[in-house]
Chain A
Amino acid sequence: MSFDFPVSLASLPPGGAGRLVAIHGGRGQALRLRRLGLRPGALVRIVAAGGWGGPVLVEVDGCRVAVGRGLARHILVEPLNPPGVTRGHGTR
């Protein structure tokens, strides 16, 4: 398993996975996300991304959480590279 440079959760494509690095923004929201398993170190997978700037559907610890697009931009993840693929730089 190898991880790429951190990007925002909102920029991961559906099916993409990664390891959560940090949550920026309000303390209350950060605690709420933690309660649902979205905490630094957690492995996350994007199940779907909503249309019209809609939320991203994240799978974490075997359960699914919808996170608004704006909030997802404040969550940093290290994308998990598929085995055998290495990239020297971030996805952007």
Chain B
Amino acid sequence: MALVGQPNAGKSTLFNAIVGYRAVAANFPGTTVEALRGQASIDGERAEVVDLPGTYSLLGGDVAERVTRDFLLAGEADAIVQVVDSSLLGRSLELTLELAELGIPAVLCLNMMDEAEHKGIAIDREALSSLLGIPVVAAIASRGQGVVELLAALPQARPVRRPPYTPDVERALARIVEAITRNPDFQGPSPIHRAAQLLAGADAVLDAEMAQAVEEARAALARGRGEDPGVILADERHAQAMRLFEAVARVGQPHIGWRERLDDVLMHPFLGYPFLLLALLGLFAAVFVVGDALEGLLSPLLDAVSGQISAALGTGPLAAVLLGAWDGLAAGVALVLPYLIPFLFLLAFLEDVGYMPRVGYLLDGLMHRIGLHGKSVIPFLLGYGCTVPAVLATRILDDERDRLVTAALAVMVPCAGRTIVIMGLVGRYVGPVVAFLLYLGNVLVIALAGWALTKVLPGVGPGLILEIPPYRWPRGRNLVGKTWLRLRGFVMLALPLLAVSSAFLALAEALGWARGFNAAVRFLTWPMGLPAEAGVPLVLGILRKELSLVMLDGALPGGVETLSWAQMIVFTVFVLFYVPCLATVGALGRELGWRRTGIVILGTTGLGLVLALLARAALRA
């Protein structure tokens, strides 16, 4: 069973309600960019549930939309659930009509019924069900309402009844269908869908006969109407959708409340910016205050356990290794979790409220100065959480060049791992103001890099088209679920990695290997004015960025507090920019290709080194 629908209709929220919290859901269009799979029990049987990226149509406008189209055309789905934002039913029915051409059994899920009521829209479900010939279920996925009813309705899924187009369009389609069915190579769920795609000029022909049929049909239609056949089809579906909508929905008085008024301030051409700055400052301050307090509580506790273990084990290489593993784990818990949890929670809050697309809107003008537009802001903002989803999120961009530039720049946005280094080292020992300045400096460097990249890769991408969803008050459960989902990656992957690396480092030190390695990379650490012990941690930081801080703490005899302020800042600057972590390199390779990934790695490392040296020079002065 596959969940299909327009962006931000709540497919991922519904997916989570069906299979447990597995997919990141948020209040902005384009949260899901790849097909996610889960298992659920439907009608007493195990069934696979697939959450697909949101799509306005099956034409495949951007990479995320192509993922959905290709999945549906591959014929993997036995049934489709079209998830609809009920407050936008009229527009959503256009996609329903496109799905009708596929002929796959479907159920319509009227999600966000509360939003529809808020807008004063009442929908006659039975009338809609009999007009489309498929079950129609009402739901509020964010509260888990309607999920049971939806699963119960699945066995009744039927292909959507396809209303005919006007006779001239039907004639054109019939002409192409005839040519398609005669081709032995034709595969796919339905010739009528392929014919419509071909008529719209959105698909490739298989043979000369088809090419001729398509050419003739397009020419005949364009001659009769004086318009592009793609536009004609879109307009006809729109008209049909509107007729359906008028037959089943009554529109009353909408409520005007805080949500409608809030944008008057938050998206105001002048007032919007101070509020944006305030929101980011608030986020930063909250993470720092909560993180600092939590760390203060945890640190003495973990230190005490460390002392106990050390006393019990005595000395010797094995004891050193075991103690090293524990220290890595403890440092991970004490340094990392306190900052990570509040940060991920607040990021989830901003996402679910719906502030992200507003930031995109506010920064569109500025983004144009660096050769991008406001939609690129979403990958950047996600980058503050983790760079991997940020790189994947570039799929929502329509233009290839924009994707490349955005991915290359998003890699430099400090992710949660680097936030740990900034907060745990500079924030804690040098002061929060300096830490905040590092964030500002980072934004400035990214802007300059973007400006420079635009000089190398000129070309104006298409302008911004971004739906701005209404504000929604997030549900606590969903925020906790999302925070946990993202935190899990850290707990499952980073904590063991910290323990193993730390044990390895202890062993290397006991055997005297670390010194040799540190000497080998002295050509890097020396010009930056860092102690030789920083060599191994910096290289291990390629695995995960926060690892470099935790390792450094273990490698220095007196811990990181023995570094001078200047050394702390130089170290952090270098960690901020040099080689993105391994997971990011993997994601970049998949999205951009390995050659471009190589260039990004070399470029960011070179930039990191130059900036670290500049920082050193500036701090000495």
- Chain A interfacial positions (CB closer than 8 Å to B): 26-37, 39, 47-55, 57, 61-72
Contact, CB under 8 Å: A31 / B230: yes
Chain B residue contacts of A28, Cβ below 8 A: 61, 398, 462
Q: Which of A35, A36, A54, A70 contacts B269 (CB 8 A)?
A: A54
Give the residues in chain A near B469, CB-CB below 8 Å: 63
Distance to closest chain A CB from B238 (angstroms) = 7
Q: Nearest residue in A to B85 (C-beta to C-beta)? A: A63
Cα A63 to Cα B254 in complex, Å, equals 12
Task: Tell yes or no: B82 within 8 A of A by CB.
Answer: no
- For the complex, count residues of B whose C-beta is within 8 A of A: 47
Tell me, rounded to whole Å, the shortest Cβ–Cβ distance linking B557 to chain A.
Answer: 52
Q: Which residue of A lies closest to B465 (CB)?
A: A32
Query: Which of B11-19, B358-366, B382-390, B570-578 touches A?
Result: B358-366
Q: Are B238 and A66 in contact (CB under 8 A)?
A: no
Tell which of B56, B267, B374 has the most Cβ of chain A within 10 Å.
B267
B234 touches A31 (CB 8 A): yes
Q: Tell whether B294 is near chain A: CB-to-CB under 8 Å.
A: no
Interface string of B85-112 (1 = CB under 8 A from A): 0011011001000000000000000000
* B269→A48 contact, CB < 8 A: yes
Judging by beta carbons under 8 Å apart, are A50 and B238 in contact? no
How far is A51 from B362 in the complex, measured between Cα atoms in Å?
8
Q: 3 shortest A-B CB distances, which residue pairs?
A: A68-B463, A71-B463, A54-B365
Please state if B465 and A71 are interface contacts (CB–CB under 8 Å): yes
Contact bitstring B463-491, A, C-beta under 8 A = 1, else 0: 11111111000000000000000000000
Contact A66 B360, CB 8 Å, known A34-B234, A35-B57, A52-B366: yes
Q: Which of A29, A52, A63 is in CB contact (< 8 Å) with B465?
A: A29
Q: Which B residues contact A (CB, under 8 angstroms)?
A: 56-57, 59, 61, 87-88, 90-91, 94, 119, 228, 230-231, 234-235, 238, 254, 263-264, 267-270, 272-273, 357, 360-366, 368, 373-374, 398, 460, 462-470
- Chain B: which residue is nearest A70 at the CB level? B463
Instruction: Please judge, given known A-B contacts A29-B465, A32-B61, A48-B263, whether A63 and B362 are in contact too, CB under 8 Å.
Output: no
**In the complex the two chains form, is A51's CB within 8 Å of B269's CB?**
yes
> Is there contact, CB below 8 Å, between A50 and B269?
yes
A57-B374 Cα distance, complex, nearest whole Å: 13
Chain B, residue nearest A37 (CB): B91
Contacts of B464 in A (CB 8 A): 55, 66-68, 71
| Cβ-neighbour of A71 out of B119, B462, B467 (below 8 A) | B462
Q: How far is the CB of A46 from chain B (nearest CB, A)?
A: 12
A61, B398: Cα distance in complex, Å = 24
B468→A32 contact, CB < 8 A: no
